[in-house]
Amino acid sequence: MNSFPSPHLSWNVVTDVRALLEYPFMVQAFRAGLLVAVLAGVVGWFMVLRRQSFAGHTLAVVGFPGATAAVLIGVSSTYGFFAFSVGAAIFISMLPNAGGSRSAESAVVGTVQAFALAFGFLCYTWYGGFATSIGALLFGSFLGITTSQVGALVVVTLLAIGLLAAIGRPLYFATVDPDVALANGVPVQALGTTYLIVLGLTAGAVSQITGALLVFALLVAPAAAAQRISVRPHISLAWSVGLAISIVLISLTLSYYYPYPLGTFVTTIALLTYLIVRVVRR
Amino acid sequence: MTAIVRLENVAAEVGGRRLLSDVDLRVDAGEFVALLGPNGAGKSTLIRMLLGLHPVAAGRITVLDRLPAQARQDVGYLPQRRRFDPDLRVRASDLVRLGLDGNHWGFPLPFKRNRTAAERVSEVIELVAATAFADRPIGELSGGEQQRILIAQALVRRPQLLLLDEPLDSLDLPTQSSIAALLSDICTNQEVSIVMVAHDVNPIMSYLDRIAYLASGKAVVGTPAEVITGPTLSALYGTPIEVLHAADGSLVVVGQPEPPAVHSDRHHSDGHHHEYDRDPRRPHSH
Ligand SMILES: Nc1ncnc2c1ncn2[C@@H]1O[C@H](COP(=O)(O)OP(=O)(O)OP(=O)(O)O)[C@@H](O)[C@H]1O
Ligand SMILES: [Mg+2]
């Protein structure tokens, strides 16, 4: 089987899904997508609560030059995404008043974002065109996800979720009420830095599915919708993960049957989900 | 009786600038003490020093016979604050709960209900008469409702000392007096000491044991009758100041840069700057 049997979507979901799971590359894509969705659902939930969407977007965009530079020096783009996103997280957390989107640094960070895109494209031109298309790095792709990539995603997901499980409660406190949290002995600053690094890891991971530019959609939309659905932290966190998983699974299925970039489906469905929740829950 | 709070020759500095010097203050168990003074006098700074969040420039502070930072577990704090973001999707009762165990590591699991903690939270919410709105998102509550929730949050760990930075800020007069009465009740019935920053002394006047009045880098400490007098305040500010007694028993301070004893309808622009009514002759009404 070396060519697609010109797939088309029937109304029988079971047959549709079974059909696409016959291809190892689709199974691989679903594995990676699931991991990324869980990660984005949990980490994005804190990001929305902390009002750090801008930082999240920046960390993702910075991954792009990381990915192109990695390919340029001959290593997997996976490492590039992670190295640059996490590096940027550490850098931003060292700026005074770290991560606040309203802070004066937002101008600096915005400029860095633009520079990151330009530099990433420069690496791409130097290399003279990649096997991996630039479109995939920016807008996402589900083709050719390797076993080692999935392995890296497993490690990152476990690490990030494990860290958040350990610091979840004080991080929540430091997020909603930093003054009182500090007075109650919560290390507000250190938690902020830790969270930003987790966000960098997540941005690097999600980039591999949605592309660097569209990470944002998967981090923000499910979490923001979930926080509309319930004010109870456990329930809204569960919704956030559930919505993220649904968005990714539906997008992967659709992008198998229709010849459009994965990122288009992810962002469209994410936006629709958020809008529907906004309309219904108000 | 050991002192709950003891300040000896304390000096405060912010950004290398000396704000206060030679402050002596002692607060005993169950005492209700007000910190008064004009904007920028250093009231919030002093509160933060009592929490160990701001360094002591000179002198010595002990809280519950410990260094301030080591006494935090037994201190409840209500910061001077802006309102919560109207979009903040956090239940008021969850905010109170965070005051109880928000500093514990881990992530609370939904199926492991902690009955004693939940009971303590609803008990303290009931104490501040906030049960009716405790399950709503904090951002949707009015300023007075938020303030009640925050007082509950400060009380939830059964602290021995409450540090309240303008808890009556932006509340209407009936709410001001009911919260003042509530605080005094907590003071006497639960043996909790309160140090409270206020801009208007009148709602709490009858409950106060002592006043520390900060101005011009100095502090005058004494009973309300000793401190809120023309001669004392004139000496503190270095300009002639008069204290008038209104018919309803409230005090009106006349002639100083900012009138602390007059209600001022202040509006927040942000956490640190207030617009306030600067007319000292405006009559005080209840
Ligand atoms: N982080 C800071 N950096 C520099 N100066 C500060 C800082 N925080 C406070 N100050 C200054 O210290 C002084 C005292 O501030 P503080 O907040 O203690 O005053 P306050 O008595 O509480 O006033 P208010 O009635 O307005 O709350 C002010 O002049 C303020 O400008
Ligand atoms: Mg203050």
pLDDT (tens digit per residue) in B41-99: 999 999 999 999 999 999 999 999 999 999 998 999 999 976 788 888 899 999 999 99
Going from the Cα of B80 to the center of ligand 2, the distance in angstroms, rounded, reads: 6
Q: How many C-beta atoms lie closer than 10 Å to residue B112's C-beta?
A: 6
Which whole number is the average pLDDT over B100-124?
Answer: 87
Integer Cα distance of A249 and A151 in angstroms:
19
Q: Is residue A4 part of a domain?
A: no
Contact: A183, B108; criterion CB under 8 Å: no
Task: Work out the mean pLDDT of chain A and round it to a whole number.
Answer: 87
- From the list A170, A180, A185, the residue facing B99 with the nearest CB is A180
- Tell me the domains of chain B and their CATH numbers: 3-255 (3.40.50.300)
What are phi and psi for residue B148, nearest 5 degrees? -60, -45
**Pairing, β B32-36 against β B210-215:** parallel
**Which chain A residues have a beta carbon less than 8 Å from that of B72?**
183-185
- The verdict on the CB of residue B48 being under 6 Å from ligand 1 is no
3-state secondary structure of B75: strand
The reply to whether B118 touches chain A by the CB within 8 Å rule is no
Which whole number is the average pLDDT over A30-39?
Answer: 94
Going from the Cα of B180 to the center of ligand 1, the distance in angstroms, rounded, reads: 25
A17 confidence band (pLDDT: 50, 70, 90): confident
The reply to whether A225 touches chain B by the CB within 8 Å rule is no
Q: Is residue A2 part of a domain?
A: no
> From atom 10 of ligand 1, which residue's Cα is the shortest distance away?
B14
Are A181 and B102 within 8 A, CB to CB? yes
Q: Is residue A22 part of a domain?
A: no
Integer Cα distance of A192 and B85 in angstroms:
19
Q: Is residue A46 part of a domain?
A: yes
Task: Work out the mean pLDDT of chain B and round it to a whole number.
Answer: 84
Q: Is residue A1 part of a domain?
A: no
pLDDT value, residue B261: 47
Report which of residues B241 and A238 the model is more confident about: A238
Structural domain range at position A167: 32-281
**Which chain A residues have a beta carbon less than 8 Å from that of B81?**
179
Q: Is residue A20 part of a domain?
A: no
Contact: A169, B95; criterion CB under 8 Å: no
B286 confidence band (pLDDT: 50, 70, 90): very low
CATH no. for residue A238?
1.10.3470.10
Q: How many domains does chain A have?
A: 1
Query: Which residues have a Cβ under 8 Å from the Cβ of B143 and sit 6 or more positions away?
Result: B83, B170, B171
The pLDDT tens digits for A174-207 are 999 999 999 999 999 999 999 999 999 999 999 8
Contact: B98, A165; criterion CB under 8 Å: no
Which whole number is the average pLDDT over A28-51?
Answer: 94
User: How close is the nearest chain A Cα to the Cα of B242, in Å?
Assistant: 37
Q: Is residue A11 part of a domain?
A: no
Q: Report residue B148 CA to chain centroid gap.
A: 13
Contact: A169, B110; criterion CB under 8 Å: no
Residue B282 has pLDDT above 50, yes or no: no
Quote the percentage of chain B above a pLDDT of 90: 54
- The verdict on the CB of residue B175 being under 6 Å from ligand 1 is no
Which whole number is the average pLDDT over B2-21?
Answer: 93
Which whole number is the average pLDDT over A75-85?
Answer: 90
Which whole number is the average pLDDT over B180-190?
Answer: 90
Residue A1 has pLDDT above 50, yes or no: no
Q: How many C-beta atoms lie closer than 10 Å to residue A142's C-beta?
A: 23
Of all helices (H) and strands (E), which one includes residue B219? strand B218-222
The reply to whether B103 touches chain A by the CB within 8 Å rule is yes
The pTM of the full predicted model, rounded to 2 decimals, is: 0.87
pLDDT value, residue B266: 41
pLDDT value, residue B273: 38
* Window 80-99 of A, Cβ < 8 Å to B: none
State both tokens at B167.
């808890």
Q: Is residue A235 part of a domain?
A: yes
Integer Cα distance of A17 and B111 in angstroms:
34
